Amino acid sequence: MGERKKRIAVLISGRGSNMKALVEASRADDYPAEIVLVISNKPDAAGLEFARSRNITAVAIDAKAYQGRAAQENAIHQALVDHNIELICLAGFMRILTEDFVAKWPGKILNIHPSLLPKYPGLNTHQRALDAGDKKHGCTVHIVTGELDAGPIVAQAEVPVLPDDNAESLTARVLIEEHKLYPKALKMVAGE
């Protein structure tokens, strides 16, 4: 048995396809990270059931159950502390974390974003790339800072934009790359 694996939490809002890719990668003996906690801001997120099926603690911390964003983020922070989390991976977590939350985990939060940052921070990245006539598009894993999608880049993967692409076809091709890139990027960061 090698070094102790770092304890990872994954924050999701939906089906958790990138979380699934991280869980599968982390099963390898030589992978430096273990997914021990999945948190969703949506109680009906399909990814919670997947995590439970893999014996991973999975909890919903629904914004509607808290008086304001700070209260919800405090609950998330407490769950992370209670599980001795060392790194956090955002995987389709559709809430922007406040600067106060990010400051509690400096350099410890990774995000996967569906564009080649610094291009197209925020939403609707695939349509924006098509509208701009870009010849290439892709995804980025970056360290989360207080500024949206602006933290240091860990890794990127490119896909060509094809002449007959629409937002759906481009999304599907980028997602395939996301599922490869995120486990590689987490391995790099967790292995440091």
- Are 60 and 45 in contact by the 8 Å Cβ rule? The answer is yes
In which residue are the tokens 């974390």 written? 97
Q: How many residues does the chain have?
A: 192
**Of the listed 77, 83, 113, 137, which one is catalytic?**
113
Taking each helix axis from N to C end, the angle separating 167-190 and 17-26, rounded to the nearest 10 degrees, works out to 30
Pick the closest to residue 81 from 3, 5, 7, 187 (CA basis).
7
Strand runs (DSSP E) across 84-170, as ranges?
Answer: 87-90, 109-113, 136-143, 153-160
Is there a catalytic annotation at residue 113?
Answer: yes
Catalytic residue list = 113
